Amino acid sequence: MTAPVTIQVLREPGADPALPLPEYQTAGSAGADLRADLGGAELVLAPGQIALVATGLRVQIPEGYEMQIRPRSSLALKHGVTLPNTPGTIDSDYRGPLGVIMINLGAAPYTIQHGERIAQAVIAPVTRAAYVIVDALDGTARGAGGFGSTGRG
């Protein structure tokens, strides 16, 4: 296993110090679970509602990496609760509160509990590109074909 990337974490003033930091549930988990810090309260997400859910944390990600915030499949499958902007992008130069944008696509209200695991954070290397203007692009067999050009199934 490669050495872990260190993410410096600052708790927001007033954040619940009892909440565990993002944590991997198994040795092979790609994502570390993020918890809702609701100040001890709960948050009801009505069908169709979008909310920015606080984690109570700020993070400092090393340059050259990003954090991707992804849904938990269990919440999505059982309740239709997911992230409308998945994966959320946390930039290495961002120093604000780490928030999770959630949406309830299910038919019933969903109650998020204080401390509930609401999403997962995946750390990934970032490749930066240089964009350059040209007069023509290389030809390929696919050409401009897309959006189902190769047929269905």
Q: What are phi and psi of 75, to 5 degrees?
A: -65, -40
69 binds ligand DUT (CB under 6 A): yes
Toward ligand DUT, which CB reaches closer, 25 or 85? 85
Sign of CA dihedral 46, 81, 53, 127: negative
**C-beta neighbour count of 106 within 10 angstroms:** 17
101 binds ligand DUT (CB under 6 A): yes
Report whether 90 belongs to an annotated binding site.
yes
Cβ atoms of 80 and 106 closer than 8 Å: yes
Report whether 91 belongs to an annotated binding site.
yes
Q: In the complex, what is the shortest distance from the CB of residue 54 to ligand DUT, in angstroms, rounded to a whole number? A: 10
- Only segment of 9-17, 88-96, 125-133, 138-146 that touches ligand DUT (CB under 6 A): 88-96
**One residue of 51, 79, 94, 122 binding ligand DUT per CB under 6 A:** 94
Report whether 2 belongs to an annotated binding site.
no
Report whether 133 belongs to an annotated binding site.
no
How far is CA 114 from its chain centroid? 18
β-strands 8-11, 57-60 pairing? antiparallel
Applying CB under 6 A, which residues contact ligand DUT? 69, 85, 88-91, 94, 98-99, 101
